[in-house]
Amino acid sequence: MNYAKAFGRRLKSIREAAKLTQEQVAERTHGDAKYLSALENGRSSPTLNTIMALSKALNVPVNDFVLLEGEDSDARSLRRKIDAAIDVCNEEKLRRVYRLIRDVIEP
Protein backbone atom coordinates (compact mmCIF):
# COMPACT_ATOMS: atom_id res chain seq x y z
CA MET A 1 0.00 0.00 0.00
CA ASN A 2 1.24 3.49 -0.84
CA TYR A 3 0.64 5.25 2.47
CA ALA A 4 1.22 8.75 1.09
CA LYS A 5 -1.46 8.23 -1.55
CA ALA A 6 -3.86 6.68 0.99
CA PHE A 7 -3.32 9.62 3.33
CA GLY A 8 -3.84 12.06 0.46
CA ARG A 9 -7.11 10.46 -0.59
CA ARG A 10 -8.34 10.56 2.98
CA LEU A 11 -7.27 14.20 3.46
CA LYS A 12 -9.02 15.28 0.26
CA SER A 13 -12.18 13.41 1.22
CA ILE A 14 -12.26 15.00 4.68
CA ARG A 15 -11.52 18.46 3.28
CA GLU A 16 -14.23 18.18 0.64
CA ALA A 17 -16.74 16.86 3.19
CA ALA A 18 -15.99 19.99 5.24
CA LYS A 19 -16.62 22.03 2.07
CA LEU A 20 -13.26 23.77 2.35
CA THR A 21 -10.74 24.66 -0.34
CA GLN A 22 -7.07 23.79 -0.09
CA GLU A 23 -6.38 27.47 0.45
CA GLN A 24 -8.81 27.65 3.38
CA VAL A 25 -7.26 24.61 5.05
CA ALA A 26 -3.76 25.95 4.43
CA GLU A 27 -4.78 29.21 6.10
CA ARG A 28 -6.22 27.37 9.10
CA THR A 29 -3.01 25.34 9.51
CA HIS A 30 -0.71 28.30 8.83
CA GLY A 31 0.60 26.21 5.95
CA ASP A 32 0.88 26.37 2.20
CA ALA A 33 -1.78 25.38 -0.35
CA LYS A 34 0.90 23.90 -2.65
CA TYR A 35 2.05 21.61 0.16
CA LEU A 36 -1.57 20.62 0.84
CA SER A 37 -1.96 19.78 -2.84
CA ALA A 38 1.21 17.66 -2.71
CA LEU A 39 -0.18 15.83 0.33
CA GLU A 40 -3.54 15.19 -1.34
CA ASN A 41 -1.83 13.86 -4.46
CA GLY A 42 0.51 11.57 -2.50
CA ARG A 43 3.61 13.43 -3.65
CA SER A 44 4.51 14.34 -0.09
CA SER A 45 4.17 12.61 3.28
CA PRO A 46 2.97 14.56 6.32
CA THR A 47 4.87 15.06 9.54
CA LEU A 48 3.18 14.35 12.85
CA ASN A 49 2.90 18.12 13.38
CA THR A 50 1.12 18.45 10.04
CA ILE A 51 -1.32 15.65 10.86
CA MET A 52 -2.10 17.28 14.22
CA ALA A 53 -2.63 20.69 12.58
CA LEU A 54 -4.91 19.20 9.92
CA SER A 55 -6.90 17.34 12.56
CA LYS A 56 -7.48 20.58 14.46
CA ALA A 57 -8.18 22.65 11.33
CA LEU A 58 -10.70 20.15 9.95
CA ASN A 59 -12.17 19.33 13.37
CA VAL A 60 -11.70 15.57 12.99
CA PRO A 61 -9.89 13.03 15.17
CA VAL A 62 -6.33 12.15 14.18
CA ASN A 63 -7.59 8.58 13.64
CA ASP A 64 -9.43 9.78 10.56
CA PHE A 65 -6.06 10.41 8.92
CA VAL A 66 -3.96 7.52 10.13
CA LEU A 67 -6.17 4.44 10.10
CA LEU A 68 -5.48 2.16 7.17
CA GLU A 69 -8.15 1.39 4.59
CA GLY A 70 -10.67 -1.07 5.97
CA GLU A 71 -10.03 -0.08 9.57
CA ASP A 72 -12.14 3.06 9.59
CA SER A 73 -15.59 1.57 9.77
CA ASP A 74 -17.02 3.81 12.49
CA ALA A 75 -20.33 5.40 11.51
CA ARG A 76 -19.05 9.00 11.56
CA SER A 77 -16.19 8.25 9.21
CA LEU A 78 -18.39 6.22 6.87
CA ARG A 79 -21.05 8.94 6.74
CA ARG A 80 -18.39 11.53 5.90
CA LYS A 81 -17.07 9.34 3.07
CA ILE A 82 -20.57 8.73 1.73
CA ASP A 83 -21.36 12.46 1.88
CA ALA A 84 -18.16 13.33 0.02
CA ALA A 85 -18.87 10.72 -2.66
CA ILE A 86 -22.45 11.88 -3.11
CA ASP A 87 -21.47 15.55 -3.32
CA VAL A 88 -19.81 14.99 -6.69
CA CYS A 89 -22.66 12.97 -8.25
CA ASN A 90 -24.85 14.29 -11.02
CA GLU A 91 -28.62 13.67 -10.91
CA GLU A 92 -28.44 10.37 -12.78
CA LYS A 93 -25.82 8.96 -10.44
CA LEU A 94 -27.76 10.18 -7.42
CA ARG A 95 -30.80 8.25 -8.64
CA ARG A 96 -28.69 5.08 -8.99
CA VAL A 97 -27.18 5.55 -5.55
CA TYR A 98 -30.62 6.06 -4.06
CA ARG A 99 -31.93 2.87 -5.69
CA LEU A 100 -28.95 0.91 -4.38
CA ILE A 101 -29.41 2.25 -0.86
CA ARG A 102 -33.14 1.62 -0.98
CA ASP A 103 -32.58 -1.96 -2.14
CA VAL A 104 -30.12 -2.60 0.68
CA ILE A 105 -32.20 -0.99 3.43
CA GLU A 106 -35.72 -2.06 2.53
CA PRO A 107 -36.69 -5.66 3.34
Q: What is the pLDDT of residue 50?
A: 96
32: left (phi over 0), alpha (psi -120 to 50) or beta: beta
Domain extents in the chain: 3-105
pLDDT digits (tens, 9 = 90+) for 42-73: 999 999 999 999 999 999 989 888 865 555 55
Distances (CA, A) of 16 to 86, 103, 107: 11, 27, 33
Is residue 106 scored above 90 in pLDDT?
A: no
Q: Which CATH number fits domain 3-105: 1.50.10.10, 3.40.50.720, 1.10.260.40, 3.30.2130.30?
A: 1.10.260.40
Task: Please give the full DSSP string across 30-63, using - where no structure is assigned.
Answer: T--HHHHHHHHTTSS---HHHHHHHHHHHT--TH
pLDDT digits (tens, 9 = 90+) for 3-22: 899 899 999 989 998 999 99
pLDDT digits (tens, 9 = 90+) for 71-83: 555 677 788 888 8
Is residue 87 scored above 70 in pLDDT?
A: yes
